[in-house]
Structure formats: C-alpha cells, structure tokens
C-alpha cells in the first residue's frame, strides 16, 4: 500500500534531483491541495515472488490464480504496481514458488540485464520451478506507463494473472512525461484484464487447460470486477486484490488516466462525462514534432480501444461547460470559485448563479439510487426518503467508466459487474483522496 510517507519521500527525492527552487515553490503550491496518487510500491529494488492465490470476483466466485507477490506477501492481481523515477536503476528479484518455470519481461525497457537465470524462456531468463530465483536490472530511462508480465509459457501464464504495471515518473512533478503538456492534478491507473475461469479451474485440478477455446467470463479493472472496483485500496476482504479503481476529481482539474491493456482481448474503455485526449501510447508521447511539440498529436475521444500489451496515457477533464446552469449551485452574489470565466458574460462558461432550468419533481415521482445525494447541484445534499442514497456523502456527480463491450459488464453472465467503475466529480474543496 502506498502511504502518505511514501508520497512525501518520492516528492523529496524528485526535488533533490531537480534542485531548482522555482520548481520547489510550484511543488509546494500544488502539494498544498489533496491529490490522488496511484497506489503502488516505490523504490528501486523490488522482491517479487510468483505464487498461487485466489481472487474474489464481483459475483462472489473464488478463482484460483497465479500472481506476483511483494516481499513474500500474498499473490496479487495485478502484480504490485512498481513506481520508479526516470533514470533509476531498477532491480527486480523474482523468486518462484510455482511448479513451473517463470520469468518477467518488461516491454518497452531496453537493456534489461538478467542474472542468475536457471533457464531461458522465450522472452526472458527464468527462475526454475519451486524455489528458483532470477534478477533483472534495467535503467528506467524514459518516463511513462508500462507493464511487465511473464515471459515464460506466456500462452498460459498471462491468463493466470502474472502481469503488473510499471510507472516511470519524469523529473518534473505532476507530469506524466518531460513536457508541461502532460501536466495533471489527479492520476489513476486502469489496468484492464479478463479471465476464463475454466482455464484456472483446469490448472488448479492439474489438468491441461484448453487455451484455443478460451472464452473470458470475468473482466477486471486493477484486478477487481465490478462492483468491487468501488472499494478502497487494501480492504481486508480482498487480500489478493489490493487496488481499488474508484476515481475522483474536481471540476476543471486534469485527470491523468494511465490505461494498460494487460489481458489477451481488446476492450473499448469508455469515459462518461467528457472526452479524454490521448497524450501517449506505449510510454511515448504522441508528438507532431518529436522532442519539441509536446503531446499534441493525440486525439480527443470517448472510447479508448485498449489492445493487449499496449499502454495509453490520456488526460480527462470535467469542465461542466455550456450547461446553462451553475454546477456549483452558487447564488448570483457568490464569489466566482472555479474561474473568472464563469462570471464573464462573453464566456461559454458563463453559468454563474444560474439555477438548474427544471423544476424538480416531487419525490414520489423519482427513482433513487445509492449515488443520488438529494440535490442536482454539485456539492449539495437534499432531502431523501428513508433508506435511499447514502453512497454520495459529498454530493458529487457519478460517471460510470467502463468497457463498452456490454457483455464485459457482467460477472459470469450476471449484470451488472465486470469492467466497470465510477469517476466522481466532487465539489471544489472536497478532499481527495
């Protein structure tokens, strides 16, 4: 789990390397507000173990899996999110508790030096079955979003769960890459996988799995299928799935989406609320002039085709513009909180103090849900009948982010679930996380 101390340490280390006071000042200003940081493990030396475990799906099913564990802990789905800094020399030591040879390959990282391999797998040097050990060392030369996965018996081992995310942070804080065009306020990881439980059951029973008839039945974000994606990081009842996938932001903030295609199928990942703009793929910025233009070649879209093996960075921002009513629920005399534009009659954002242009129906005509705060205004709460609401204590707006292949919104044919989570736009001032 990432703690506030880890975060502070990372910031201190980044600042030491930069050593520029003006950036320190900027860092302090930004650091003054609460900020969502991807949960993971920081440092440069990582001890992973490939081992057996069980994951819990949204329908209550318990599925046998193989995962990478951190420091001898439980097998994780996905593997530990490794968070390093640009230029770090990263060492990953892999111990193998499984009954077949296993390894790690790092797509997009050049110069991976393998030491102590017991055998050579197709894509990487291996740790032998039942106790073998191998070490990989590489320099994280380029910032970006990456993944790692098994390089052995890959037809089976990726399906079994041997994959994780690698985040390389640039020298500048609160940027995805070494370009101000990639600046963000909040960042979230969306690590997309799917699994065919019949393969897992066969492996657990010691049978030969039927890979060419693979048919996925569970679809996960950060190792969890909906609605477990909503739970916080590290909840005790999901010991093998420590990462939640609920995202939160404030209006007008830039949200960095780090999206990883880690399974074997493609997924159309769809954001509600507003378009995102792709700034990078496979850990490289989309630039019209490489090295000069910044991330200006990406497209604006609302569905990201996420292919296995690829990674994507995108910036999403909810501006609430052109609504014709004040998303903040201001009275006409209130201060202009979000920007000067909301009080500028010439601006398309000129919504200050305008009430929502409908009369709310009486409660007996409304259908409620857990996410309804009782008020249509951001940050406001209203009267709710007994037993309704309760999941939206800050009066935020909930937007479902999900795979738009609708069958993937199921847990073994049961809707809703699967590759689905929520983005909550919270009122300014609501602390995140």
Site for other proteins (CB under 8 A): which residue of 21, 60, 111, 333?
A: 111
Work out whether 1 is an interface residue with other proteins (CB under 8 A): no
415 binds other proteins (CB under 8 A): no
What is the distance between the alpha carbons of residues 236 and 344, in angstroms, rounded to a whole number?
Answer: 49
Task: Quote the least distance from Cβ 210 to other proteins, whole Å.
Answer: 6
Look at the block and give the residue holding tokens 């932001």.
249
Give the nearer residue to other proteins in terms of CB position, either 156 or 343.
Answer: 156
158 is an interface residue for other proteins by CB under 8 A: yes
Nearest approach, Cβ of residue 141 and other proteins (Å): 6
Q: Does residue 205 belong to the site contacting other proteins (CB under 8 A)?
A: no
What is the nearest approach in angstroms of other proteins to the Cβ of residue 200?
Answer: 13
Q: What is the largest CA-CA distance in the chain?
A: 72
DSSP string, 330-347: --TTS---S-GGGG-TTS
Nearest CB to other proteins, comparing residues 70 and 112: 112
Binder to other proteins among 115, 201, 288, 300 (CB under 8 A)? 288
Query: Binding pattern to other proteins, positions 246-275, x when CB under 8 A?
Result: ------------------xxx---------
User: Can you count the helices (H) and strands (E) in the chain?
Assistant: 4, 23
User: Structure tokens of 92?
Assistant: 């990953």
Alpha helices (runs of H) in 256-386, residue ranges in sequence order: none
Residue 413 interacting with other proteins (CB under 8 A):
no
The DSSP H or E segment spanning 356 is none
Peptide bond into 70 cis (omega under 30): no
User: What percent helix, strand, coil does the chain show, rounded to 5?
Assistant: 15, 30, 55
* Cβ proximity to other proteins, 34 vs 155, nearer residue: 155
Least distance to other proteins from the beta carbon of 147, Å?
A: 10
Q: Residue 5 or residue 208: which is nearer to other proteins going by CB?
A: 208
Q: Which is nearer to other proteins, 73 or 107 (CB)?
A: 107
Residue range at the interface with other proteins (CB under 8 A); choices 1-9, 168-176, 237-245, 302-310: 302-310
Contacts of residue 4, defined as CB under 8 A and 6 or more positions apart, other chains included, come to none
Inter-residue contact 395 to 381 (CB < 8 Å)? yes
Is residue 277 near other proteins by the rule CB under 8 A? no
What is the rounded distance in angstroms from the CA atom of residue 262 to the CA atom of residue 260?
6
Dist. CA 126–CA 115, nearest whole Å: 10
With CA atoms as reference, report the closest residue to 167 among 243, 124, 240, 106.
106
* Segment lying near other proteins (by CB under 8 A), choices 13-21, 104-112, 185-193, 391-399: 104-112
128 is a site residue for other proteins (CB under 8 A): no
Determine the Cα–Cα distance for residues 295 and 81; give it in Å rounded to an integer.
24
Of the two residues 112 and 425, which places its CB atom closer to other proteins in the complex? 112
CB of 89 to other proteins, least distance (A): 12
Total residues contacting other proteins by CB under 8 A comes to 43
SS3 per residue for 43-90: CCEEEEEEEEEEEECCCCCEEEEEEEEECCCCCECCEEEEEEECCCEE
Minimum CB distance to other proteins, residue 110 (Å): 4
- The reply on whether position 141 binds other proteins by CB under 8 A is yes
Residues that bind other proteins (CB under 8 A): 105, 107-108, 110-114, 122-123, 139, 141-142, 153-156, 158-159, 208-214, 264-266, 281-282, 284, 286-288, 290-291, 297, 305, 307-310
């Amino acid at each position: 789990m990432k703690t506030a101390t880890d975060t502070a340490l990372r910031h201190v280390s980044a600042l030491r390397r930069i050593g520029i006071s003006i950036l320190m000042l900027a860092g302090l200003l930004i650091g003054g507000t609460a900020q969502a940081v991807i949960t993971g493990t920081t440092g440069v030396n990582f001890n992973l173990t490939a081992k057996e475990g069980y994951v819990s799906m949204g329908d209550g099913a318990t599925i046998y899996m193989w995962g990478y564990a951190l420091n001898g802990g439980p097998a994780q789905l996905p593997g530990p999110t490794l968070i390093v800094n640009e230029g770090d020399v990263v060492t990953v030591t892999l111990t193998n508790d499984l009954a077949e040879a296993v390894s790690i390959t790092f797509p997009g990282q050049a110069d991976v030096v393998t030491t102590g391999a017991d055998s050579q797998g197709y894509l990487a040097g291996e740790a032998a079955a039942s106790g073998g050990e191998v070490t990989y060392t590489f320099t994280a030369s380029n910032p970006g979003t990456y993944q790692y996965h098994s390089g052995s018996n890959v037809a089976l081992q990726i399906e079994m769960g041997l994959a994780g995310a690698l985040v390389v942070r640039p020298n500048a804080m609160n940027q995805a890459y070494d370009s101000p065009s990639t600046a963000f306020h909040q960042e979230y990881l969306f690590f997309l996988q799917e699994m065919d439980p019949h393969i897992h059951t066969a492996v657990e029973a010691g049978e030969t799995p039927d890979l060419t008839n693979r048919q996925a039945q569970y679809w996960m974000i950060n190792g969890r299928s909906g609605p477990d994606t909503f739970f916080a990081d590290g909840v005790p009842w999901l010991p093998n799935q420590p990462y939640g996938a609920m995202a939160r932001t404030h209006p007008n903030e830039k949200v960095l989406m780090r999206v990883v295609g880690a399974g074997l199928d493609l997924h159309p990942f769809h954001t509600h609320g507003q378009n995102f703009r792709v700034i990078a793929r496979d850990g490289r910025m989309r630039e019209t002039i490489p090295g000069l233009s910044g991330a200006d070649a990406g497209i604006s879209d609302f569905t990201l085709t996420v292919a296995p093996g690829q990674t994507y960075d995108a910036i999403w921002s909810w501006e609430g513009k052109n609504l014709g009513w004040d998303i903040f629920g201001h009275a006409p005399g209130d201060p202009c909180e979000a920007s000067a534009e909301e009080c500028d009659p010439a601006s398309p954002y000129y919504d200050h103090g305008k009430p929502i242009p409908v009369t709310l129906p009486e409660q007996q005509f409304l259908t409620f849900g857990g996410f309804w705060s009782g008020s249509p205004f951001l940050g406001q709460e209203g009267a709710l009948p007994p037993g309704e609401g309760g999941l939206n204590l800050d009066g935020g707006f909930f937007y479902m982010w999900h795979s738009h292949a609708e069958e993937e919104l199921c847990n073994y044919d049961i809707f809703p679930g699967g590759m689905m989570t929520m983005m909550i736009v919270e009122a300014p001032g609501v602390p995140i996380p």
